[in-house]
Amino acid sequence: MRIDLHTHSIASDGTQSPADVVASAAHAGLDVVALTDHDTSSGWAEASAAADRLGLRLVPGVEISCLLRRVSVHLLSYLHDPTDGPLTRMLTGSRTSRESRARLMVDRLSPDTGLRWEDVLEHVHGTATIGRPHIADALVARGVVADRDEAFATLLSGRSKYFVPQTAPDPVEAVRRVRDAGGVPVIAHPAASKRGSCIGDVDIEAMVEAGLAGLEVDHRDHSDAERSHLRDLARSLDLFVTGSSDYHGTGKRNLLGENTTDPESLQRIDELAAATSPSQGAGSA
Ligand code: AMP
Ligand code: FE
Ligand code: FE
Ligand code: ZN
């Protein structure tokens, strides 16, 4: 069984529709794929219909932007109730602050590159969650940079003078919201030091106390040493581990199924989701 638990569609910063992500997953020989767009579940219905047609299992999820001491933390949530009020409000708040933050970055970039907000909107599909990748696409279209990679390495990097940080919820708070909504929280690429600063083991322990269930270990942004450290940490904290592609269509080099998750971990996700009744508001591991 081949399981990939982290992908993006045009509902956020991927380049394929949710149905096409699922079709590509089938093509890549996957049996199970999770759609985990940034801060939105708007792709779930389309992806789920495609999965039914193609005979794969879709695991509905989101990747929630969080911040701790100015360090970016991405929290994956699987199988939560998409109508849960507090979680929905948290995600809506993030999408709103992402838009103001993107506008501020465009304001800073504009004098030097001629970039306008309308240029960025041309690369955002409908109500998709806006992120730096859309600014990157607009810069590519203007001929300022060659591709998203170059944009992130230069103008859009966290060290760039054009960079504006995003405001986002605290990760412990996000874990609680996910559990209260019946979801299963897993930290995405927790030790990806090449992306920037990462939270420490003590911070992860605090998230475990709030109900964190797993760690994404096999991810292309982790070195072998980072993976083995995370595996040990997961064992000591009784967390399950996952492996995923973090596929973004042609927006990133990551390929569907390049890392996969063991069926035992998916079973833990299913069991925890089944045991967590949203109305009971489970808050502990
Ligand atoms: P933001 O969410 O606006 O802070 O932008 C970060 C997003 O950009 C992450 O979700 C990444 O998937 C994506 N990203 C980061 N680096 C790159 C890159 N080099 N090429 C394409 N996408 C990237
Ligand atoms: Fe992304
Ligand atoms: Fe992420
Ligand atoms: Zn992701």
Separation of CA 195 and ligand 1 centre (Å): 9
Percent with pLDDT over 90 in the chain: 95
pLDDT score of 284: 44
Residue corresponding to tokens 């997961």: 234
Reference 170, options 92, 88, 98, 67; nearest CA is 67
Question: What pLDDT, on a 0 to 100 scale, did the predictor assign at position 283?
Answer: 46
* Antiparallel, parallel or unpaired: β 240-243 and 71-78: unpaired
Find the angle CA(153)-CA(106)-CA(70) to the nearest 5 degrees. Answer: 60
Q: How far is CA 39 from CA 65, 131, 134, 159, 207, in A?
A: 7, 11, 15, 24, 19
Q: Select the CATH number that applies to the domain covering 99-153 from these four: 1.20.810.10, 1.10.150.650, 2.60.120.10, 3.50.50.60.
A: 1.10.150.650
pLDDT in tens, 228-281: 999 999 999 999 999 999 999 999 999 999 999 999 999 999 999 999 865 554
In DSSP terms, 184 is beta-bridged to 78
Kindly list the domain boundaries of the chain, sorted by start residue. Answer: 3-92+167-281, 99-153
The 10s digit of each residue's pLDDT in 136-185 is: 999 999 999 999 999 999 999 999 999 999 999 999 999 999 999 999 99
pTM of the predicted model as reported, rounded to 2 decimal places = 0.95
C-beta 132 within 6 A of ligand 1:
yes
Residue nearest to atom 18 of ligand 1 (CA): 149
Taking CA atoms only, the protein residue closest to ligand 1 atom 11 is 133
Residue in 130, 152, 193, 197 to alter for ligand 1 test, most ligand atoms within 8 A of Cβ: 152
CATH number of the domain at 3-92+167-281, please?
3.20.20.140
Convert the pLDDT of each residue in 68-81 to its tens digit.
Answer: 999 999 999 999 99
Q: How many angstroms does the Cα of residue 75 sit away from the middle of ligand 3?
A: 8
User: Per-residue pLDDT averaged across 31-50, rounded?
Assistant: 98
Which strands sit side by side in the sheet containing 57-68, from one edge to the other? Answer: 3-4, 32-38, 57-68, 71-78, 184-188, 214-218, 240-243
How would you label 164-189 residue by residue, b for 16+ Cβ within 10 Å and e otherwise?
A: bebebbbbbebbbbbbbbbbbbbbbb
Nearest atom, ligand 1, residue 147 CA: 20
63 beta partners: 38, 76
At residue 278, the pLDDT reads: 52
Residue 195: the pLDDT is 84
Measured from the alpha carbon of residue 164, the closest ligand is 1
Considering every ligand atom shown, identify the ligand nearest to the alpha carbon of residue 156 and give its number.
1
Check residue 123 and give its pLDDT.
Answer: 97
Q: Name, in order, each residue with C-beta under 8 angstroms of 200's C-beta and a sequence gap of 6 or more.
A: none
